[in-house]
Amino acid sequence: MNPMVEFKNVMKTYQIGSQEIVANNNINFTIYEGEFCVIVGPSGAGKTTILNILGGMDKVTSGKILIDGKDISQYNLKELTLYRRHDVGFVFQFYNLMPQLTALENVEIATEITKHPLDPKTVLEQVGLTGRIDNFPSQLSGGEQQRVSIARALAKNPKILLCDEPTGALDVETGTTILDLLHTTCKTHNKTVVLVTHNPIITEIADRVITVKNGQIQSININSNPLSPKEVQW
Amino acid sequence: MVVKNYLKYIFKDIKTLASKLIAIIMIVMLGIGFLVGLLTTAPNMRYSVERYYVDNNAADLVIQSATPLTENDINSLKERTEIKDIMPYFMIDEVIEINDVNRMARIMLLNFNENIAVNQLKLIKGRLPNPNNEHVEVVVEKSQTYLVDIEIGYQTTVMDQVFEVVGIVQHPWYFAYVQEVSQLNQRPIETMIYTDESFLADKTYTHLAVTINNPHNYNLFSEEYKDYMETVVENLEKTYNSDFYYTTRNQNQSYVKFQNDVKIVEIIALIFPAFFFLITILVSMSSMTKIVSDQRIQIGTLRSLGYSKTKIMNKYIFYALMASLVGVLLGIGLGIYFIPAVVYNAYLNSYNLPELTIARNFLVISIMSVVMIIAVVLVTMISVGATLNEKPANLMRLKPPKKGKKIFLERITFIWKHLKFRYKSTFRNIFRNKRNLGLTLIGVAGSTALLLAGFGIKNSVDYSGHYQYQEMQLYDIEVTVNPNQTTIVSLDEYEKIYLMDYTFKYKNDDYINVVSPENNLLINDFLNFKNTSRHDILMDNNSVFVTQQFAIKHNIKANDTIELEFQGTTTTFMVTEILDYYFGNHIFIAKELLEVSYPTMTYNKIYVKTDLKDATAIENLRLELDLDEAVLQTSFDSDIKTVFEKTSESINSIIIVLVVAASLLAIIINYNITLINISTRQKEIATLKVLGYSEREVSGYVFRETLIISSVAILLGLGLGKLLHWFIISLIFLDGIMFVNMIDWVSYLITIVLSYAFLGIVYFISIPKMRKIDMVEALKSFE
């Protein structure tokens, strides 16, 4: 298996006034292609910082981050934009759909700027939204909106799928179907999925669990027998 | 205790809202500043001259007597209740030699031993004459376009008497740069000389300068004042039958010219208020709405803590009151002097007048200020009220973004299908936020309209002058001659045409100059006649051409018949054409038609084409004509053009104010809307960034919308501006002055370019705001 994401001695500090706050310190991990990886930890542990750096939204203070072998820690803002555009599919906790666009158009807004996008309609059908593609976000349920958000991320045909608490705003039942969708996508399309959450139960479906605490990696566990989301006792 | 804490909280709050409150202060300041400045400009200009009149006790009326005035006349006039002060003096128009040139001089003999009672002279330089000196000391009127410059110390000897100029003065009846004409022989006055009455051995008075009691304190430029003066003159005429000739200010050229100029300023200033007011209120409203929506959670918290609606509302009313009050005060400070001074000073190029005096326009200013403050508070109450009426629980959440929906355009499938995706998104957004749409449409269309109207007025003024003096009147000099002595030697070598020019009576109360050339074919070489549809027309044996303004005023159309009366004979003419004509009122009638009723009429005017370019040659010809006994008056085209250019320059000042105001407004409105757009779409923008949109694509996403709305608004504004321009031009319909209703295509172009430039400026200053939006915003929820 190819390593898809590699963090090497990554440190991130923030300057707040005259104080320097260390958000991440000496972070090292590797995620392999096609893995379903869950980064877990309590709030304030530093998982959001990892997500921001991995998503190309923030720069590291020191260390290296290799994505499919390329060191994005050296990228300038323009290169980071292209990285986000072509290599990362982002699934938000609150879906972040454009309210004035239909489901289809919300997917198109992402595919419009990518090099090798998948067909938006097909992807929407894949995520189970056949017949809903001309609806506006306000006409969709929370679960449906999250499906559109996932379709938007998938249709870019990215190298990694980054999910920030994707079930955080959903009830358990809907959340399970969303996790199932992500899990299936990962397994059937061999897509690398990185999911950030504070909810430890989700780790049961992961291939790899990275636990973060106080800005540092506490443990990295390989789950030899991950459950499918539907088998998990929520 | 609670109140104290709440107050403390309010003041802390002000700090965080500072930038938005400053925006309100700024727009109110600009709005009130321009409103106050523009609306008080004309009143201030009038007030300055009124003050000048009062300070110098200027005459309301000059009475001229055919025979020398007697003590009895003077005493009986003095006893009349309507008369306040009376000053008898001797006045004569004489040709005298100054610096080796014969000049037409108006000489006034006044009593310098005592203070001059009426029409006091304002000393500009030097001193007043000493009556007891052995040689005759005189003061002269300050030079201007039509009055020659004579220096202090100049001496000349006339009939063994030595005259010396000791001072330069200004007479309150001669402050405008206009040509005063001698009553003696209709020749233009070239200097005015004042000396002591002891110059004549036996005191003789020909004139009386009179001030009238103004019991109702009528404004000196008002219709009431004019009417009142007419009544006064009528009453005097009843008592003193026909011995006296009365001249009121209404027949004083300086007064009339100033009155007309100020009226033009007033009319142009008229187009601002409504729009300025509307914009100020709309911008204040959107800023307040923004403040309230930013503080939803705070409001919700306070509500759930048990604070009453009124108490929370009071806080925002307090903000609105403070911001608008500060804005109003700053605006008054800024506008009250600056704008009137800019315009007034521009007019000083054709007036000898003291500096601007600011009138106490308390009423106008306080009304505007109070209305503005109330309006800002009211729109605040409306926007806060809407939020307060929501359930406190709802307030704890951020307002979800407005829902998207299909727009009308999507039904027109063949257009929608072909639109690029990003435009589809833009069009939906345009109709998603109707308030922004309305604000942009009104703001941009309004400022575009103001710009176009401003440039258009400039075009109208310039084109009217150009047309009349360059295209229409092809002659260079208009010479008025003695009807019995029409051969002018100095004009022998030039191309010329003789004309009859006499004043006819029309419909009992109006007068019109009828002009009839010696030769109908030849006149077309001197006057390039055009009818109101701008087609060239030629004069022939049946022609009766009426100039435009007179035709409009009396509703005369081609093929109408008009009755004109001259020396008791009334004749009916059929009007053949209405002329495109802007300055003056005339009727051009073929000689053949006029001769039928007035066979004895003689030539009294000559149009001359000289093609002289050289200034000395022109001056020489002017001197030769002045010296000719047969010549009563000469009017050089070049002089008229100079005067016109000065007026045009003065009008520029108010147009510049207009353009600057419109530009500032355009920028402020655009900026305001863009800021609202950016801040209400922070999350959308952050999301786009996360999706990998470049900064340029993101700003395009936000700005494309503004660009499309603004383009529609600019188009709308051009139409509106054309209308506004037409409205202003048709209001400027003064006696003998009107302007063409025409806007040059260059003005359209400049307006469009400027309007887009303002958008560009706003785009560039708002780019950093968009850049600053952190992608992390995208990860946050609506709380």
Tell me the pLDDT tens digit for each residue of B238-256.
888 777 889 999 989 899 9
Please indicate if any CB of chain B lies within 8 Å of the CB of A123.
no
Asked if the Cβ–Cβ distance from B403 to A136 is below 8 Å, we say yes
Taking residues B584-594, report their average pLDDT.
92
Can you state the angle between helices B253-269 and B2-55, rounded to 10 degrees?
Answer: 160
Q: What pLDDT is recorded for position B199?
A: 83
From the list B123, B130, B198, B125, the residue with the least C-alpha distance to B164 is B130
Question: Quick check: B586 pLDDT over 90?
Answer: yes
Of B402, B683, B781, the CB nearest to A93: B781
Please indicate if any CB of chain B lies within 8 Å of the CB of A13.
no
Please indicate if any CB of chain A lies within 8 Å of the CB of B697.
yes
A105 burial (CB, 10 Å; 0-12 / 13-18 / 19+) is buried
How many other CB atoms are found less than 10 A from the CB of residue B473? 18
Q: How confident is the model at residue B399 (pLDDT cuts 50, 70, 90)?
A: low
Q: How confident is the model at residue B783 (pLDDT cuts 50, 70, 90)?
A: very low
**Cβ neighbours of residue B752 under 8 Å, at least 6 residues apart?**
B714, B718
Distance (Å, whole) CA B599 – CA B150: 47
**Cβ neighbours of residue B538 under 8 Å, at least 6 residues apart?**
B521, B524, B529
How many other CB atoms are found less than 10 A from the CB of residue B173? 21
Question: Quick check: A61 pLDDT over 80?
Answer: yes
Asked if the Cβ–Cβ distance from B697 to A113 is below 8 Å, we say yes
Distance (Å, whole) CA B91 – CA B129: 17
Residue B452 is encoded by which pair of tokens?
A: 């176009």
Asked if the Cβ–Cβ distance from B779 to A164 is below 8 Å, we say yes
The fraction of chain B above a pLDDT of 90, given in percent, is: 39
Predicted ipTM?
0.92
Q: What pLDDT is recorded for position B96?
A: 85
Please indicate if any CB of chain B lies within 8 Å of the CB of A80.
no
Of A96, A99, A109, the CB nearest to B403: A99
Cα→Cα distances A203→A32, A35, A208, Å: 17, 13, 8
Question: Quick check: B514 pLDDT over 60?
Answer: yes
Tell me the pLDDT tens digit for each residue of A195-205.
999 888 888 88
Question: What is the per-residue DSSP string for B392-461?
Answer: HHHHTSPPPPPPP---GGGGSHHHHTTS-HHHHHHHHHHHH-HHHHHHHHHHHHHHHHHHHHHHHHHHHH
Asked if the Cβ–Cβ distance from B691 to A100 is below 8 Å, we say no
Asked if the Cβ–Cβ distance from B690 to A57 is below 8 Å, we say yes
Q: How confident is the model at residue B1 (pLDDT cuts 50, 70, 90)?
A: very low
Please indicate if any CB of chain A lies within 8 Å of the CB of B397.
no
User: Hey, what CATH class is A32-60+84-231 in?
Assistant: alpha beta
Q: What pLDDT is recorded for position B400?
A: 64
Tell me the pLDDT tens digit for each residue of B658-680.
888 888 888 888 888 888 888 87
Q: Considering only CB atoms, which chain A residues are within 8 Å of B775?
A: 52, 55, 57-58
Nearest CA in chain A to B781: A94
Q: Torsions phi, psi of B97, nearest 5? A: -90, 120
Cα→Cα distances A165→A90, A119, B161, Å: 11, 26, 111
Q: How confident is the model at residue B311 (pLDDT cuts 50, 70, 90)?
A: confident
Strand arrangement, sheet containing A208-213: A88-91, A160-164, A192-197, A36-40, A208-213, A216-222
Q: How confident is the model at residue B401 (pLDDT cuts 50, 70, 90)?
A: low
Q: For residues B386 and B376, which has the higher predicted lDDT (pLDDT)?
A: B376
Please indicate if any CB of chain B lies within 8 Å of the CB of A84.
yes
CA A73 to chain centre: 18
Distance (Å, whole) CA B60 – CA A35: 102
Please indicate if any CB of chain B lies within 8 Å of the CB of A166.
no
Question: What is the per-residue DSSP string for B293-359?
Answer: HHTHHHHHHHHHTT--HHHHHHHHHHHHHHHHHHHHHHHHHHHHHHHHHHHHHHHGGGB--------
Hey, of B691, B694, B782, which one would you mutate to test binding to chain A, going by the most A CBs within 10 A of its CB? B691
Asked if the Cβ–Cβ distance from A52 to B404 is below 8 Å, we say no
Please indicate if any CB of chain A lies within 8 Å of the CB of B122.
no
Q: What pLDDT is recorded for position B2?
A: 58
Please indicate if any CB of chain A lies within 8 Å of the CB of B722.
no
A116 burial (CB, 10 Å; 0-12 / 13-18 / 19+) is exposed
Nearest CA in chain A to B401: A99
Nearest CA in chain A to B689: A81
**Cβ neighbours of residue B513 under 8 Å, at least 6 residues apart?**
B501, B502, B503, B504, B584, B585, B586, B587
Please indicate if any CB of chain B lies within 8 Å of the CB of A228.
no
Q: What pLDDT is recorded for position B170?
A: 94
* Weakest-pLDDT range from A16-20, B154-158, B262-266, B717-721: A16-20
With the CA atoms of B621, B623, B625 and B626 taken in that order, what torsion angle do they form, in degrees rounded to the nearest 10?
160
| β-pair partners for A212 | A217
Q: How confident is the model at residue A225 (pLDDT cuts 50, 70, 90)?
A: confident
CA B364 to chain centre: 19
Question: Quick check: B766 pLDDT over 50?
Answer: yes
Q: What pLDDT is recorded for position B397?
A: 66
Taking residues A145-162, report their average pLDDT.
91
**Cβ neighbours of residue B468 under 8 Å, at least 6 residues apart?**
B581, B582, B583
Give the closest-approach CA distance of B772 to chain A in angstroms. Answer: 13
Hey, of B696, B699, B779, which one would you mutate to test binding to chain A, going by the most A CBs within 10 A of its CB? B779
Distance (Å, whole) CA B746 – CA B758: 18
Q: What pLDDT is recorded for position B44?
A: 93
**Nearest 5 degrees, angle CA B590-CA B592-CA B594?**
75
Tell me the pLDDT tens digit for each residue of B258-271.
999 999 899 888 87
Please indicate if any CB of chain B lies within 8 Å of the CB of A69.
no
Nearest CA in chain B to A166: B779
Taking residues A140-145, report their average pLDDT.
89
**Cβ neighbours of residue B134 under 8 Å, at least 6 residues apart?**
none
Taking residues A62-84, report their average pLDDT.
91
Tell me the pLDDT tens digit for each residue of B723-751.
999 998 988 888 788 899 999 999 999 99
Residue A45 is encoded by which pair of tokens?
A: 């542990």
Residue B671 is encoded by which pair of tokens?
A: 């900026």
Question: Are B717 and B445 contacting, i.e. CB atoms less than 8 angstroms apart?
Answer: yes
Residue A92 is encoded by which pair of tokens?
A: 């938000």
Taking residues B629-657, report their average pLDDT.
85
Please indicate if any CB of chain A lies within 8 Å of the CB of B425.
yes
Domain boundaries, chain A: 32-60+84-231
Q: Torsions phi, psi of A169, nearest 5? A: -105, 10
3-class DSSP assignment, residue B628: coil
Cα→Cα distances B86→A67, B208, B217, Å: 103, 7, 19
Half-sphere exposure of B34 (CA within 13 A, CB side): 28
From the list B342, B332, B401, the residue with the least C-alpha distance to B372 is B332
Give the predicted TM-score (pTM) of the model.
0.83
Of A90, A136, A164, the CB nearest to B404: A136
Please indicate if any CB of chain B lies within 8 Å of the CB of A12.
no
